[in-house]
Amino acid sequence: MSVRRLRLDLGYDGTDFRGWAAQPGLRTVQGEIEAALAMASREEVTTTVAGRTDAGVHARHQVCHVDLSDEAWARLAPRGERSEDDAATSIVRRLNKILSGRYGERSRTRGMGVARGTCDVRIFAARVVDASFDARFSALARRYTYRVSDAPDPLARWDRLWVDEPLDDQAMNDAAAPLLGQHDFLGYCRPREGATTIRALRTLRAVREADGTLAFRVEADAFCHSMVRSLVGALLLVGSGARNIDYPARVLGARSRASAAPIAPAHGLTLEGVDYPAPEEWAARAAQARARRDSCCGDDA
Protein backbone atom coordinates (compact mmCIF):
# COMPACT_ATOMS: atom_id res chain seq x y z
CA MET A 1 0.00 0.00 0.00
CA SER A 2 1.42 3.35 -1.01
CA VAL A 3 1.11 6.51 1.06
CA ARG A 4 1.32 10.22 0.40
CA ARG A 5 3.08 12.46 2.88
CA LEU A 6 1.24 15.74 3.31
CA ARG A 7 2.93 18.78 4.84
CA LEU A 8 0.67 21.24 6.66
CA ASP A 9 1.68 24.80 7.57
CA LEU A 10 -0.54 26.28 10.27
CA GLY A 11 -0.88 28.77 13.08
CA TYR A 12 -2.87 28.92 16.30
CA ASP A 13 -3.83 30.94 19.35
CA GLY A 14 -2.79 28.69 22.21
CA THR A 15 -4.98 30.33 24.85
CA ASP A 16 -7.65 27.61 24.97
CA PHE A 17 -5.43 24.66 24.07
CA ARG A 18 -3.65 22.36 26.49
CA GLY A 19 -0.63 22.42 24.25
CA TRP A 20 0.13 20.70 20.96
CA ALA A 21 0.30 17.04 21.98
CA ALA A 22 -2.91 15.00 22.00
CA GLN A 23 -4.13 14.13 25.51
CA PRO A 24 -7.24 12.12 26.38
CA GLY A 25 -10.15 14.33 27.39
CA LEU A 26 -8.27 17.59 26.74
CA ARG A 27 -8.46 20.02 23.83
CA THR A 28 -5.10 20.19 22.06
CA VAL A 29 -3.92 21.48 18.69
CA GLN A 30 -2.86 18.02 17.54
CA GLY A 31 -6.21 16.64 18.63
CA GLU A 32 -8.12 19.25 16.61
CA ILE A 33 -5.97 18.79 13.48
CA GLU A 34 -6.18 15.00 13.60
CA ALA A 35 -9.94 15.12 14.25
CA ALA A 36 -10.41 17.30 11.16
CA LEU A 37 -8.25 15.00 9.04
CA ALA A 38 -10.09 11.92 10.30
CA MET A 39 -13.48 13.52 9.59
CA ALA A 40 -12.47 14.38 6.04
CA SER A 41 -10.62 11.16 5.19
CA ARG A 42 -12.65 8.77 7.36
CA GLU A 43 -9.41 7.27 8.60
CA GLU A 44 -7.49 7.73 11.86
CA VAL A 45 -4.17 9.51 11.27
CA THR A 46 -1.21 10.68 13.34
CA THR A 47 0.67 13.92 12.75
CA THR A 48 4.35 14.63 13.37
CA VAL A 49 5.12 18.22 14.37
CA ALA A 50 8.19 20.45 14.10
CA GLY A 51 8.02 21.54 17.73
CA ARG A 52 5.55 20.61 20.45
CA THR A 53 4.28 23.69 22.26
CA ASP A 54 3.06 23.79 25.84
CA ALA A 55 -0.38 24.82 27.07
CA GLY A 56 -0.99 28.50 26.34
CA VAL A 57 1.87 28.88 23.84
CA HIS A 58 0.95 30.30 20.42
CA ALA A 59 2.25 29.64 16.91
CA ARG A 60 2.36 32.09 14.03
CA HIS A 61 3.93 29.38 11.85
CA GLN A 62 3.98 25.72 12.83
CA VAL A 63 4.67 22.73 10.55
CA CYS A 64 3.52 19.13 10.74
CA HIS A 65 3.25 16.19 8.37
CA VAL A 66 0.85 13.28 8.04
CA ASP A 67 0.99 10.07 6.00
CA LEU A 68 -2.19 9.24 4.10
CA SER A 69 -3.12 5.95 2.50
CA ASP A 70 -4.39 5.93 -1.08
CA GLU A 71 -7.90 5.39 0.25
CA ALA A 72 -7.63 8.28 2.73
CA TRP A 73 -6.25 10.56 0.02
CA ALA A 74 -9.07 9.66 -2.34
CA ARG A 75 -11.62 10.59 0.31
CA LEU A 76 -9.78 13.72 1.41
CA ALA A 77 -8.90 15.20 -1.99
CA PRO A 78 -11.76 16.50 -4.16
CA ARG A 79 -12.51 14.61 -7.33
CA GLY A 80 -11.57 16.17 -10.62
CA GLU A 81 -8.53 18.12 -9.38
CA ARG A 82 -5.91 18.19 -12.11
CA SER A 83 -2.85 17.89 -9.88
CA GLU A 84 -1.76 17.13 -6.33
CA ASP A 85 -1.09 20.85 -5.83
CA ASP A 86 -4.68 21.71 -6.82
CA ALA A 87 -5.96 18.99 -4.52
CA ALA A 88 -3.83 20.27 -1.64
CA THR A 89 -5.28 23.76 -2.03
CA SER A 90 -8.78 22.35 -1.83
CA ILE A 91 -7.79 20.27 1.21
CA VAL A 92 -6.80 23.47 3.04
CA ARG A 93 -10.27 24.94 2.46
CA ARG A 94 -11.95 21.73 3.54
CA LEU A 95 -9.91 21.32 6.74
CA ASN A 96 -10.42 24.96 7.73
CA LYS A 97 -14.17 24.58 7.23
CA ILE A 98 -14.18 21.58 9.57
CA LEU A 99 -11.98 23.33 12.13
CA SER A 100 -14.12 26.47 12.18
CA GLY A 101 -17.28 24.37 12.40
CA ARG A 102 -15.94 22.54 15.45
CA TYR A 103 -14.87 25.83 17.01
CA GLY A 104 -18.28 27.41 16.37
CA GLU A 105 -20.08 24.44 17.92
CA ARG A 106 -17.82 24.56 20.98
CA SER A 107 -18.34 28.29 21.36
CA ARG A 108 -22.11 28.00 21.17
CA THR A 109 -22.16 25.35 23.91
CA ARG A 110 -20.30 27.87 26.08
CA GLY A 111 -22.80 30.62 25.35
CA MET A 112 -20.55 32.56 22.97
CA GLY A 113 -21.46 33.71 19.48
CA VAL A 114 -18.72 33.72 16.83
CA ALA A 115 -18.74 34.70 13.17
CA ARG A 116 -18.72 31.91 10.59
CA GLY A 117 -15.20 30.83 9.70
CA THR A 118 -13.70 31.94 13.01
CA CYS A 119 -11.30 29.53 14.66
CA ASP A 120 -8.25 29.54 16.93
CA VAL A 121 -6.27 27.21 14.64
CA ARG A 122 -5.85 27.75 10.90
CA ILE A 123 -4.23 25.76 8.11
CA PHE A 124 -2.30 28.12 5.83
CA ALA A 125 -0.97 25.69 3.25
CA ALA A 126 -0.77 22.00 2.35
CA ARG A 127 1.43 20.20 -0.11
CA VAL A 128 2.46 16.67 -0.95
CA VAL A 129 6.14 16.12 -0.14
CA ASP A 130 8.65 13.36 -0.56
CA ALA A 131 8.77 10.73 2.20
CA SER A 132 12.24 12.01 3.15
CA PHE A 133 10.64 15.13 4.64
CA ASP A 134 10.21 14.95 8.41
CA ALA A 135 8.55 17.96 10.02
CA ARG A 136 10.53 17.42 13.22
CA PHE A 137 13.91 16.03 12.23
CA SER A 138 14.38 17.75 8.86
CA ALA A 139 14.11 21.18 10.49
CA LEU A 140 17.23 23.34 10.65
CA ALA A 141 15.97 25.83 13.25
CA ARG A 142 12.99 27.05 15.25
CA ARG A 143 12.35 30.74 15.87
CA TYR A 144 10.39 32.04 18.85
CA THR A 145 9.38 35.44 20.22
CA TYR A 146 8.49 36.07 23.84
CA ARG A 147 6.66 39.37 24.28
CA VAL A 148 6.64 41.48 27.44
CA SER A 149 4.79 44.74 28.03
CA ASP A 150 5.76 47.25 30.70
CA ALA A 151 2.98 49.54 29.36
CA PRO A 152 0.10 47.01 29.25
CA ASP A 153 -2.49 47.08 26.48
CA PRO A 154 -5.77 45.31 27.46
CA LEU A 155 -6.33 44.34 23.81
CA ALA A 156 -3.06 42.39 23.75
CA ARG A 157 -3.29 40.56 27.04
CA TRP A 158 -3.33 37.04 25.60
CA ASP A 159 0.07 36.98 23.87
CA ARG A 160 2.35 38.98 26.16
CA LEU A 161 3.40 39.13 29.76
CA TRP A 162 2.56 42.28 31.70
CA VAL A 163 5.17 43.60 34.12
CA ASP A 164 4.89 46.57 36.48
CA GLU A 165 8.52 47.65 36.61
CA PRO A 166 10.55 49.09 33.69
CA LEU A 167 13.10 46.69 32.24
CA ASP A 168 16.72 47.41 31.33
CA ASP A 169 17.04 46.23 27.72
CA GLN A 170 20.80 46.67 27.54
CA ALA A 171 21.45 44.74 30.73
CA MET A 172 19.38 41.81 29.45
CA ASN A 173 21.21 41.74 26.12
CA ASP A 174 24.58 41.88 27.89
CA ALA A 175 23.47 38.98 30.09
CA ALA A 176 22.26 36.98 27.08
CA ALA A 177 25.53 37.13 25.11
CA PRO A 178 27.41 34.37 27.05
CA LEU A 179 24.56 31.92 26.41
CA LEU A 180 24.97 31.94 22.64
CA GLY A 181 26.56 28.91 21.02
CA GLN A 182 26.43 25.20 21.82
CA HIS A 183 26.09 24.40 25.52
CA ASP A 184 24.51 22.01 27.95
CA PHE A 185 21.34 23.90 28.89
CA LEU A 186 20.35 21.65 31.80
CA GLY A 187 19.77 24.72 34.00
CA TYR A 188 17.26 25.95 31.42
CA CYS A 189 15.50 22.66 30.56
CA ARG A 190 13.22 20.12 32.10
CA PRO A 191 15.07 17.00 30.99
CA ARG A 192 13.51 13.67 30.19
CA GLU A 193 15.11 10.30 30.76
CA GLY A 194 17.63 9.44 28.05
CA ALA A 195 17.40 12.91 26.49
CA THR A 196 20.22 15.33 25.80
CA THR A 197 20.04 18.94 26.97
CA ILE A 198 22.81 20.11 24.63
CA ARG A 199 21.56 22.72 22.18
CA ALA A 200 23.03 25.31 19.78
CA LEU A 201 21.52 28.69 20.67
CA ARG A 202 21.89 31.05 17.70
CA THR A 203 19.90 34.11 18.74
CA LEU A 204 18.87 35.51 22.11
CA ARG A 205 18.21 39.24 22.24
CA ALA A 206 15.65 41.74 23.47
CA VAL A 207 14.33 44.32 21.01
CA ARG A 208 11.61 46.95 21.20
CA GLU A 209 8.79 46.60 18.70
CA ALA A 210 7.06 49.63 17.18
CA ASP A 211 4.38 49.72 19.89
CA GLY A 212 6.94 49.60 22.69
CA THR A 213 6.51 45.89 23.42
CA LEU A 214 9.74 44.21 24.49
CA ALA A 215 10.28 41.17 22.28
CA PHE A 216 12.82 38.46 23.07
CA ARG A 217 13.95 36.88 19.79
CA VAL A 218 15.17 33.32 20.34
CA GLU A 219 16.46 30.87 17.74
CA ALA A 220 18.16 27.49 18.03
CA ASP A 221 18.51 24.25 16.12
CA ALA A 222 15.99 22.81 18.59
CA PHE A 223 14.76 23.44 22.13
CA CYS A 224 14.18 21.17 25.07
CA HIS A 225 11.21 21.38 27.41
CA SER A 226 10.55 24.92 28.74
CA MET A 227 13.94 26.16 27.49
CA VAL A 228 12.77 29.40 25.85
CA ARG A 229 10.62 30.39 28.80
CA SER A 230 13.48 29.63 31.21
CA LEU A 231 15.89 31.77 29.20
CA VAL A 232 13.40 34.63 29.30
CA GLY A 233 12.72 34.07 32.99
CA ALA A 234 16.41 34.48 33.82
CA LEU A 235 16.77 37.60 31.67
CA LEU A 236 13.70 39.22 33.22
CA LEU A 237 15.34 38.95 36.64
CA VAL A 238 18.33 40.82 35.24
CA GLY A 239 16.17 43.40 33.49
CA SER A 240 14.26 44.18 36.66
CA GLY A 241 17.44 44.50 38.71
CA ALA A 242 16.70 41.46 40.87
CA ARG A 243 19.84 39.64 39.62
CA ASN A 244 23.24 40.71 38.38
CA ILE A 245 24.20 40.54 34.70
CA ASP A 246 26.26 37.39 35.27
CA TYR A 247 23.28 35.45 36.68
CA PRO A 248 22.20 33.72 33.41
CA ALA A 249 25.79 32.62 32.73
CA ARG A 250 26.08 31.23 36.24
CA VAL A 251 22.91 29.19 35.75
CA LEU A 252 24.34 27.86 32.49
CA GLY A 253 27.69 26.99 34.05
CA ALA A 254 26.15 25.20 37.02
CA ARG A 255 24.43 22.65 34.74
CA SER A 256 22.12 21.72 37.58
CA ARG A 257 18.37 21.57 38.14
CA ALA A 258 18.99 22.63 41.74
CA SER A 259 19.81 26.14 40.53
CA ALA A 260 17.54 26.16 37.49
CA ALA A 261 16.25 29.39 35.99
CA PRO A 262 12.62 30.41 36.66
CA ILE A 263 10.10 29.69 33.91
CA ALA A 264 8.22 32.65 32.43
CA PRO A 265 4.44 32.21 31.89
CA ALA A 266 3.44 30.38 28.72
CA HIS A 267 1.08 32.91 27.15
CA GLY A 268 3.85 35.35 26.19
CA LEU A 269 5.52 32.83 23.88
CA THR A 270 4.91 32.49 20.13
CA LEU A 271 6.54 30.09 17.66
CA GLU A 272 7.32 32.40 14.74
CA GLY A 273 8.67 29.94 12.22
CA VAL A 274 10.51 26.74 11.33
CA ASP A 275 13.34 26.63 8.80
CA TYR A 276 14.10 23.71 6.49
CA PRO A 277 16.89 22.96 3.99
CA ALA A 278 16.36 22.35 0.29
CA PRO A 279 14.34 19.18 -0.53
CA GLU A 280 17.40 17.23 -1.60
CA GLU A 281 18.82 17.74 1.91
CA TRP A 282 15.76 16.64 3.92
CA ALA A 283 16.89 13.03 4.43
CA ALA A 284 20.46 13.91 5.39
CA ARG A 285 19.30 16.56 7.85
CA ALA A 286 16.81 14.16 9.45
CA ALA A 287 19.47 11.47 9.84
CA GLN A 288 21.88 13.98 11.37
CA ALA A 289 19.30 15.27 13.84
CA ARG A 290 18.23 11.78 14.90
CA ALA A 291 21.83 10.68 15.44
CA ARG A 292 22.67 13.74 17.54
CA ARG A 293 19.54 13.89 19.68
CA ASP A 294 18.91 10.12 19.77
CA SER A 295 15.94 9.78 22.11
CA CYS A 296 15.83 13.53 22.66
CA CYS A 297 13.00 15.18 24.54
CA GLY A 298 11.77 16.90 21.40
CA ASP A 299 11.16 20.59 20.97
CA ASP A 300 8.93 21.68 23.84
CA ALA A 301 9.74 25.35 24.21
Give the catalytic positions in this structure.
54
Provide DSSP, 194-236: T---EEEEEEEEEEE-TTS-EEEEEEES---TTHHHHHHHHHH
List, as one string, the DSSP characters of 136-167: TTT--EEEEEEEEESS--GGG-SSSEE-SS--
Q: Which residues of 287-299 are buried (b: 16+ CB within 10 A; e: fewer)?
A: eebeeebeebbbb
- In sign, the C-alpha dihedral spanning 154, 300, 238, 146 is negative
Q: 85-88 — which CB contacts under 8 Å span 24+ positions?
A: 85/127, 85/128, 88/6, 88/125, 88/126, 88/127, 88/128
